[in-house]
Amino acid sequence: MNHAMNTIELYLAAMLIIFSVPYLVWRGLRTEAYAPLAVVQIIGGIVLGPGILGAVLPDAHAAVFNPQVIMALNGVAWWGVMIFVFVAGLELDTSELWTNRVETGVTAGLALATPLVFGTVAAIGLVQFPGWAGSGAENWQVVLGIGMACAVTALPILMLFMEKLEILRQPLGQRILRYASLDDIAIWGVLALILLDWERIGRQAAFVVGFVVATMAIRALMKRLPEPDRWYVSLIWLAACGLAGDWSGLHFMVGAFLAGAVLDKSWFDRTKMDLFRNHILLALMPVFFLSTGLKTQWDVGGVAVFLAAGLLLFASIAGKLTGVHLAGRILKWPKGEARVIGWLLQTKALIMIIFANILLDRQIISNDAFTALLLMAVGSTMLTMPIVTPLLKPRQG
């Protein structure tokens, strides 16, 4: 007797694929030295998407990843990525940024501006051809969006890498965190500019005013709460900010980042925060990687997408290394330090994928541009550990 799988069974089958396949590849091929599990999961999402698995097994792909299953997966992915972005905002240490404002400002400014220029030039070249701009975008939005994607540093993945390299809590690691944190603020600010909707300008103005007032209230409340209550209240605050951000026309992830950025990380136990971030990576983010992979398309053609990805990868790495090298010369860093910092800061992974998802959701970029950016993020992230590990050996020795 044939049994047609219902939506719950198909959803659980999708979850089984999401969690088992990348893990088995990661363990079986021992990819940790160049592709940590998070990177393998991102690649797994691409492979499981319509561009690869959907093309090879279209009927099976359509049966498992039907609209009902995708909607259920998206719900998990939305909440998981909101928490992840919230934690990234929470990691900002404004007091450290202010104390070291000159050094941090010079380095972060050059580390952001130079790859932004390189990426913008590459984007100007891309938009000369059809198929890269989204249906709802002006050219300046496409160019600035792709340019900023080349300038992004993935703060959460950067932290995981530095933990593995045993420099996270060392002075070098803390400096790199300051640079990446300041750039995070600029990135989300530019994103808000790109998404500025003149038809919703009233809502966005109301969001800014309301957010400032609500921030003062939540900070006053948090100071009076015991730490266990702060964790729970922070999730309420996160949901409210995400809702308000999306209602205003910015994006729920802009609201999520701001929700974390205005809170003090000193209000939360550092060990618990690290565990919380790792648990989100373990239990929820693989679903986001899959839902991201399901958006990959190859309509322009595989060769064109890969060429675009290569161009953007070059712009991203060359721009970041050039900017950090200039900062090192200005600030007179020891020989070789700029190279280590530059390669770590060019790590893209999650934050750039989140950034690109927002651009795609708002129809700023096309599916093909999104796929090229996704491939660029994967390539950038996979290069980091193999290059940085030998560079650090003389310093650690």
Per-residue pLDDT, averaged over 321-346, amounts to 92
**Is the four-CA dihedral 131, 348, 118, 255 of positive or negative sign?**
positive
Nearest to 157 by CA among 391, 392, 388: 388
pLDDT at residue 311 greater than cutoff 70? yes
Residue 63 is predicted with a pLDDT of: 86
Helix, strand or coil, per DSSP, at residue 335 = coil
Q: Are 14 and 64 in contact (CB under 8 A)?
A: yes
What pLDDT digit, counting tens, does each position of 383-393 carry? 998 899 888 87
User: What 3-state class would DSSP assign to 133?
Assistant: strand
Candidate ranges 75-79, 137-141, 213-217, 277-281; pick with highest mean pLDDT: 213-217
* Rounded Cα gap, residues 66 and 266, in angstroms: 44
> Are the C-beta atoms of 50 and 294 separated by less than 8 Å?
yes
DSSP state of 170: S
HSE, CB side, 13 Å, CA atoms: give it for residue 180.
Answer: 29
Q: Which pLDDT score, from 0 to 100, does residue 47 have? A: 82
Higher pLDDT, 252 or 197: 252
Q: Which residues contact 249 (CB under 8 A, 6 or more apart)?
A: 195, 197, 199, 200, 203, 204
| Digit-coded pLDDT (tens) for 62-83 | 888 888 998 999 999 999 989 9
- Give residue-wise pLDDT tens across range 21-73: 889 999 998 887 777 787 788 788 878 877 778 888 888 888 888 889 989 99
Q: Record the pTM.
A: 0.78
Across 109-125, average pLDDT: 94
CA-CA distance, 24 to 15, in Å (whole number)? 14
Asked if 142 and 132 touch (Cβ cutoff 8 Å), the reply is: yes
DSSP per-residue string spanning 249-303 = TS-HHHHHHHHHHTS-GGGS-HHHHHHHHHHHHHHTHHHHHHHHHTT---SS-HH
Query: Counting every residue, how long is the chain?
Result: 397
Q: At what angle do helices 367-396 and 349-361 cross, to 10 degrees?
A: 170
| Dist CA 281 CA 2 (whole Å) | 37
d(CA 322, CA 359): 26
> At 209, which amino acid appears?
V
